[in-house]
Amino acid sequence: MDLDSEDVGATSRLRSSSATPPPAKKARLADEEDGGDGPVAGPSSAPGPAKGASNQAQKGKGKKKRKIRRPPPPEPGSSEDVILRDVIELLGGEEAIKNLEAEGKDWESPLEKFQVLEVVVDELSSNGEAIARVPSTISPNPWAILVPFALPGETVRVRVYANVRLHSIADLVEVIKPNEEMRDDSRMLSYDTQLQLKQRVVEKAYKNFSGLPPSLVPPILPTIASPKTYGYRTKITPHFDLPPVSKRKESDDPAKLPIGFGEKGRRKVMDIEECVIATPVLNQALPGIRENVRKFVTLQISLSFESDICSSKLHTYKRGATLLLRDSFRRPDNEEPSTLPANTNSDAPPQADPEIPSDAISVEPPTTTTAEQGGEAHVCITDYKATVREHVGNTRFEFPAGSFFQNNNSVLSPLVEYVRDAIFTDATPSPSALSSLTHLVDTYCGSGLFAISLAPHFEHVAGVEISQESIASAKHNAELNNLPPPPSASSNPAIRTKTLTFLAGKSETIFSSVSDFPSQNTVMIIDPPRKGCDKLFLQQLVAFKPAKLVYVSCNVHTQARDLGMLAELMKEVGEGKETYVIESLRGFDLFPQTAHVESVAVLRLAQSNA
């Protein structure tokens, strides 16, 4: 999930109700196969043809149109799959497109590449793009257009640059008639509306991906808001690109090097001087880091250099690199520095954080940057091997800057508290059943966020994670928080923890490592990466049958898919006498001003009514 390259750039441009027409770009995907001679219904309002277009059109006359090569279906739960299902629903559902599929016309676009037209936006996709139906005056068959930076009800002018199955992809040229009710004073989507739309994303995910009958899916609860809607993101990863070595010139000016995030729909970097969703200390450090990058980057092939400011030779990155800026609490002067176990023999980030690419480098600002937030000093960390300090409520966490940790600290306490309350209060049949929940298993535990935060409420806790470095951090964090408390410590009835262990191993083999946990007394937290759980993991979960499940997901679509698969697997085991009942579903807004929503599902093992 690359929030930095997509959402940060989007945030900076949504303020305007109109857009400068972007340059025409080469169309891709299906258009490359049909030679650009797709049918056009009605007059084209496109500007003059791209260079060489007229010659290509003349050459194409009289030639038999090549058959479009259809790529394989998108991976279930992927961004492309989510958009396609939203498009199908807007066009009337599977029944409405059956005839197109039967006739092989679901890839035949009625629009030309670079055609400009006006459309009225129908809705937002689950990924945040606007979707509009092509007017029937242009296409008698159902067809849609996907365009960024527009809102439902707005009349927009768009330019098509690619055609795929059942829809075209376009650039926004201009918002002709904005939706004033949905935009706030800064021209952004109002925050209340964002929360409502994200609730709708969860609803659509379970409708389109779970395969569950509506009677088994509870009403989606309102999305929990983030306490901060701007200035919340504790990590950003700006990027810069360098021209290929063969195209570098002595006249190239490093001062003009764009340093920022990926421009929406382009393979280019948009220069970003300030990120409005990043925390204050990161924005304070960013100008100095940009200055140092430009100071030491050279586009001359023969020049080499060393610098105390750069921990990497920037000129050795032939095509550019990614910078890391991470917010951390500053260590108090009277506190001894703690040492995290780390793999010092590797130049790669200590844990595979999907948002930190392999080309990450460390560039310090000219001076140490600090900022006061909430009465505490924060610093900007730029070395992915350095230690980051976080607080979630009264619980302390330390981890390598290059490892994964949630990037909106302001909402983590509400998230942990919600999970805790959901375990012990949500629709559970009896108080005795609540008191019997004595064991907790935290899969994909990372640095121990849930395992450590919830440990005081359980007698025995186990965290499992594939990364050895993350397990080392989790063990360190348990010690930081005195968990489990030593036997000699005075008895605190609020802390039930007797054992707290962290095990390195694949989640698929987790159940063998907790075979001594009684399933009827065990709660399991599942917090996987975007791809969700695989079938082997779910099969072992069904065999273990914990009393309660909490599934926290950064991709609600794979979460819905997994819970549908779980229901099917439960039918196959024990003649379907038991099942997992979904007690509650709701989104958490970890990333305001973006389309992303975290989803929390709470399930309870129960007797099946089937």
Dig out the tokens for 178 from the structure: 């904005």
Q: List Cβ neighbours of 580 (8 Å cut-off, separation of 6 or more).
A: 549, 563, 566, 567, 570, 603, 604, 605, 606
Preceding omega of 43 cis (within 30 degrees of 0): no
| φ, ψ (nearest 5 deg) of residue 409 | -65, -30
Query: In terms of C-beta density within 10 A (0-12 exposed, 13-18 middle, 19 or more buried), how is residue 447 classed?
Result: buried
CA separation (Å) from 328 to 4, 248, 260, 389, 580?
18, 38, 21, 5, 40
Dig out the tokens for 65 from the structure: 């149109």
The owner of tokens 């679901």 is 106
Grouping H, G, I as helix, E, B as strand and the rest as coil, residue 277 is coil
Grouping H, G, I as helix, E, B as strand and the rest as coil, residue 599 is strand
Dig out the tokens for 161 from the structure: 């640059």
DSSP 456-488: GG-SEEEEEES-HHHHHHHHHHHHHTT-SPPTT
The answer to whether residue 554 is catalytic is yes
Q: List Cβ neighbours of 111 (8 Å cut-off, separation of 6 or more).
A: 38, 40, 117, 134, 138, 139, 143, 145, 160, 163, 168
User: For residues 556 and 601, is the Cβ–Cβ distance under 8 A?
Assistant: no
User: For residues 270 and 223, is the Cβ–Cβ distance under 8 A?
Assistant: no
DSSP class of residue 590 equals S
The answer to whether residue 101 is catalytic is no
| Cα–Cα dist 559/580, whole Å | 14
Query: From the candidates 123, 469, 554, 583, which is the catalytic residue?
Result: 554
Report which of 130, 134, 167, 131 is spatially closest to residue 150, judged by C-alpha positions. 130
Give the catalytic positions in this structure: 554, 598
